[in-house]
Amino acid sequence: MRDLTGAAAYGGEGWSPRAAPLRDEIGALWGPCGLHDEWGVLRTVLLHRPGAELAVADPDAAQLLAPVDPERAAAEHDALARAYREEGVLVHAVEPASAPTPNLMFCADLFLMTPEGAILGRPASTVRAGEERWIARRLADLGIPIVRTVRGRGTFEGADAMWLDATTVLVGRGLRTNAEGIAQVAAILGEMGVEVIPVDLPWGAMHLMGMLRIADRDLAIAWPGRLAVTAIEALRRRGYRVNFLPDEPAAERNTALNFVTLAPGRILMAEGYPVFERFFEKAGLACRTTPVAELRKAAGGIGCLTGILERAAGA
């Protein structure tokens, strides 16, 4: 009888140990993905094109701000996807297998990308509960590792997290992300050598994304009087200039700040906000605009709509 200990399956000659860490397998065994900053060249995003699910009888019950015209919203979303493609960004669609909920289009809330794959979120609202299943399915289809799924009583939405540098992530604690969710995110990021800095959000704030955006390797844009001192100090310690939004109506600030950084010093922002566009340009940013007036009625903007899968490595 053959001595099985000599077989390759049992570690004998021909055994091939898996020596490379997960990070080194990204782009080869696994699909291309990864994120360690908020300003590197944007390569790949995940979007969900909204449709008939926006035709709801009670917008407030669906956690929308106002009735949304599905056709107009879809047209604006098509323009957003087109803008990304024209900027050289690969756009993937969620493509849920059953009827989506009205908020599924806000992909940024449903996961956080890391250098080794995605942390799958767990939305705080019952209205959005289960949306993460479709994100998990699509990430799997794309070959992107899911390194952690927030579970138990934890809640976590990706729009509450922001990479300050390759070893630091700011996470907002508030309505959408609780202390248990932060602890779970901190645990997996800690295994990657990344520190999590928790920051309390003020009452009435939806996400950290609505308080802070990073537009370049040394430039952050913040909402004055709403972003915590802890966050400002963390940014400045890491060499960021923190520019505060001008004093304009809150709704306009919300929409104008909800931009996505395309590359260092270049952003994609909402169309129709000239005061803020001039403010950004004065700060040294190049601005591309796209319409979101109808989509904004659903309580989110460009940043919320955009799940970021990959930025250029080594940026």
Q: Which of 3.40.50.410, 3.50.50.60, 3.90.1280.20, 3.75.10.10 is the CATH number of 32-311?
A: 3.75.10.10
Say how many Å lie between the first and final Cα of the chain, rounded.
Answer: 57
Nearest to 292 by CA among 266, 271, 313, 306: 271
Q: Model pTM?
A: 0.96
Q: Which residues of the chain have pLDDT under 70?
A: 1-2, 314-315
Q: Rounded CA gap, 161 and 154, in Å?
A: 15
Q: Rounded CA gap, 184 and 38, in Å?
A: 21
What pLDDT shows up at residue 315?
A: 47
What pLDDT shows up at residue 268?
A: 98
CA dihedral 239, 240, 241, 244 (to 10 degrees): -150
Q: Rounded CA gap, 268 and 64, in Å?
A: 23
Q: CA of 193: how far to CAs of 36, 54, 151, in Å? A: 12, 41, 22
By residue count, the chain amounts to 315
| Owner of token pair 């950084």 | 261
- List the alpha helices (DSSP H) in 148-224: 179-191
Q: Which one-letter amino acid corresponds to residue 315?
A: A
Q: Are strands 111-114 and 161-165 parallel, antiparallel or unpaired?
A: unpaired
Q: Rounded CA gap, 54 and 104, in Å?
A: 10
The long-range contacts involving 277-286, CB below 8 angstroms and separated by at least 24 positions, are 279/243, 279/245, 279/246, 280/215, 280/221, 283/215, 283/219, 283/221, 283/243, 284/216, 284/219, 285/215, 285/216, 285/219
Domain ranges of the chain: 32-311
Decide if 73 contacts 295 (C-beta within 8 A).
yes
Structure tokens at 124: 């705080």
Tell me how many degrees the CA angle 35-190-89 measures, rounded to the nearest 5. Answer: 5
